[in-house]
Amino acid sequence: MLKVRIIPVLTFNGFGLVKTKQFQQPRMVGNPVQAARVYNSRGVDELLFLDIFASKQQRKLNMKIVSDVIRECFMPVGIGGGIDSIEDIQALLKIGADKVVIKTAALNDPDFVRKAADFFGAQCISVAVDAYLDDAGIYRVYTTEKGSLPVDEFIQSMAEKGAGELILTSVDRDGMMQGFDVDLVKLAEKNCQLPIVVSGGGGEPAHFTELFSQTNCGAVAAASIFHFTQFTPLDIKRELGAIGKPVRL
């Protein structure tokens, strides 16, 4: 039976690891290579490394650090940050990335996702969808520009372009550790058949059991809970196992 996945996320600012709240106030939380080593020794299901300022600062990924992170990992690793060309993806796969996470380029040029999926296979193309609830009660894709797309439309278009997986983050819940946005997950599930990695809001194991019991969610990505509490991915999986979810212990 397919196991649910608990995926630690390393959010990087170009120098070190940071953790944001609602995508603001980045706080330094350590060294990415050390963190990757610890997560590998704990046998986590997968790891995500995202340079969350690369696109905004018009930087490319620091390939030296990315390759040092990947070298620590004997589990799948997804890498994101400023990826906007076939060459970017090729360079990452070459150093051992299993998946690339595309966000800004998918918004600016949705056909890039198709191009990438056709070239490398959908299985290694993840699309990050950062969503917030607007004042009218509609989930929209978070961008710095005005008039962003409704989330359901964007998800449908990404599925149609051949994305292999969505990484769905609630901006409202990011770093708040108050629980996941279950309604957002349900909306996403209604609009595509892709595997969805849910992120934003996990602060204690009960938040995870709530999410998994109310949705068909197969994977969660989290950071704050691992940086700021004593809970480990294994603790969460034990709780999920206790409510009957298939987990890898």
Partner 1 sequence: MVIDYGMGNVASVQKALRFLNIDSVVSNDIMAIQNASSLILPGVGAFAQGMLNLRESGLIEVLHQEVMDYKKPFLGICLGMQLLATTGTEPHTCEGLGWIEGTVRKMEEPTLAIPHLGWNTVERTRESDIIQHDQVDCYFIHSYHFDVTDPKVVLATVDYGSTYVAAIEQDNIFAAQFHPEKSQDAGLAMLTQFFKKHA
As measured in angstroms, the least distance from the Cβ of 139 to partner 1 is 20
Nearest 5°: the CA angle 9, 43, 71 is: 70
Distance CA 169, CA 186 (A): 13
DSSP 223: S
Instruction: Out of 24, 58, 144, 193, point to the residue binding partner 1 (CB under 8 A).
Output: 193
What residues contact 123, with CB distance under 8 A and at least 6 apart? Answer: 99, 164
Per CB under 8 A, 71 contacts partner 1: yes
Residue 124 or 240: the one with the smaller Cβ distance to partner 1 is 124
Choose, by CB under 8 A, the member of 17, 129, 194, 223 that binds partner 1: 194
Please state the closest distance from residue 87 (CB atom) to partner 1, in A: 14
Interaction between residue 245 and partner 1 (CB under 8 A):
no
Instruction: List the structure tokens of 47.
Output: 């790891």
Beta-strand runs (E) in the chain = 5-12, 17-21, 24-30, 47-51, 77-80, 99-102, 125-133, 139-141, 165-170, 196-199, 219-222
Residue 149 binding partner 1, by CB under 8 A:
no
Rg (C-alpha) for the chain, rounded Å, is 17
Pick the binder of partner 1 from 51, 84, 88, 98 (CB under 8 A).
98
Rounded to a whole number of angstroms, the minimum distance from the CB of residue 136 to partner 1 is 30
Work out the number of other CB atoms within 10 angstroms of the CB of residue 108: 11
Number of residues lying near partner 1 (CB under 8 A): 32
Site for partner 1 in 18-57 (CB under 8 A): 40, 43, 45
Interface with partner 1 by CB under 8 A: which residues? Answer: 1-5, 40, 43, 45, 70-71, 74-76, 93-96, 98, 120-124, 164-165, 193-196, 218-219, 248
